[in-house]
Amino acid sequence: MKVNEHLRNAIFQVIDNQINANDPPETALTLERLVNEGYSDFQAKQLIGQAVVIEVIDAVKNKKFYNEERYLRNLRNLPKEPQE
């Protein structure tokens, strides 16, 4: 499967923006936790990106706002696959 690097970079930018703004703080905490569990920075961002994508797809598909409760739950549960 070919990776869409532009899409991945956009998702990583969202993650970096959340970390830099400390909003939500759980994003940075999740990155730190995953790295401490042995994942590389890149791998940890890929995992966090899965939770980001759930929110983006829901917002576009269902014309809904970001579901912070679900996003934070999915971050807490990583590396398990995020749930919609």
Confidence grade of residue 80 (pLDDT, cut at 50, 70, 90): very high
Alpha carbons 70 and 32: distance in angstroms, whole number = 20
Alpha carbons 6 and 82: distance in angstroms, whole number = 22
With tokens 């532009």, the residue in question is: 6
Does this model's pTM top 0.85?
yes
For 25-55, what is each residue's pLDDT tens digit? 999 999 999 999 999 999 999 999 999 999 9
